[in-house]
Amino acid sequence: MPNSYSYLLSLILLFNLPLLAISQDEKVIAFNDLGFQFTIPDEWEGKETESTYILTSENQTGFVTISTLPFADITELKKQINGGIKKGNGFFLAPIDQIETISEVRMQGKFSGLINFSPVIAYIIIIRGEQQQMVMILAAESKENYSNKYEILANEIAASFSFFNPIMPSMVDEYKTMLNNTKLTFIESDDPSNSGVSTGYQTKTTIDLCGQGYFNFYDFSSSGMVSAFSAGNNKGAGNWDIKKDENGYIVLQLKYYDGEIYEYDFEYLNGKIFLDGDHYLRTTDGDLKYKPNCN
């Protein structure tokens, strides 16, 4: 991709919703949580940003963006776009001709305007999926270099689209991913009632949840006593898991190598982790002082 277009990529945000490519198979890109997939054309490569999927080419100028829109009705969306697409200073696209409504689930048209204050022409196709997913394909090039090959390119990508029921990851899987390679720390003083009377005695519990499936468990006290659990040549004290118990509640399970099993009721509220109602601080490898012991 020519360097003259690299500055454009950060501007292609429009009014789209967050994207996350859950699975990729060569040139077939699937957004399982949104319920659609498409194929990247030959000679083009894809890159995912927070809210847009961008296609560029080493051999061709211009670029393509694929994004989702917060609309469920084509007619309502058409009213909005007829007035142009504006995003901050230096970004404005207006339809050149009348936008074509191909069907109840597709509309398309050519737009002209500015991106980062530079004149461009873009061909836009918007398609709606069976589960009300609204996807926009935008193929753009500078005004002087635009040709109908970008319309052809946008149509090729649109033809490769397929929609399906969104596949949402389970909360258990999400929590397990969140806890991989983390340290959980709970600190308790001898004055839980906050009466103001304290001997200064304090205990701290840390649990290292390692990505390889094992855990380390430590109890510290201000008296100098330390309780650590390990098991010979095995890594850590045992294996950990996030699962649902027989009543359907999510629990953190610590299964020691000696056969003992402990389960903590797990809650994630307002960005905080609670085990059996106690607030545990979560730190990762990025926290050098408090990173998990997962060597």
Of all residues in the chain, the percent with pLDDT exceeding 70 is 80
- For the chain, helix, strand, coil in percent to 5 are 15, 45, 40
Task: Indicate the domain borders of the chain.
Answer: 3-163, 171-290
The CATH architecture assigned to 3-163 reads 3-Layer(aba) Sandwich (3.40)
User: Among the listed ranges 34-48, 78-92, 98-112, which one has the minimum average pLDDT value?
Assistant: 78-92
Residue pair 137/125 in contact by the 8 Å Cβ criterion: yes
CA distance 5 to 17: 23
In the predicted structure, residue 111 carries a pLDDT above the cut 90: yes
Q: Which of 41-50, 127-136, 214-223 has the highest mean pLDDT?
A: 127-136
CA distance 96 to 105: 21
Across residues 261-289, what is the average pLDDT?
A: 89
Tell me the average pLDDT of the chain: 82
The alpha carbon torsion through 150, 151, 153, 156 (nearest 10 deg) reads 180
Residue range 181-211, pLDDT digits in tens: 999 999 886 555 555 544 455 678 999 999 9
Residue 148 CB neighbours (<10 A): 9
Residue range 269-282, pLDDT digits in tens: 888 899 999 999 99
CA angle 172, 265, 213 (to 5 degrees): 50
CA distance 263 to 146: 62
Greater confidence (149 vs 70) lies with 149
In the predicted structure, residue 76 carries a pLDDT above the cut 70: yes
What pLDDT shows up at residue 9? Answer: 40
Which residue type is seen at 109?
G
Residue pair 137/154 in contact by the 8 Å Cβ criterion: yes
Across residues 73-84, what is the average pLDDT?
A: 86
Q: Give, in words, the CATH class of 171-290.
A: mainly beta
Of all residues in the chain, the percent with pLDDT exceeding 90 is 44
User: Among the listed ranges 32-36, 50-54, 221-225, which one has the minimum average pLDDT value?
Assistant: 221-225
What pLDDT shows up at residue 10? Answer: 36
DSSP state of 10: G
Q: 168: which 2 tokens?
A: 């949402």
What pLDDT shows up at residue 219? Answer: 85
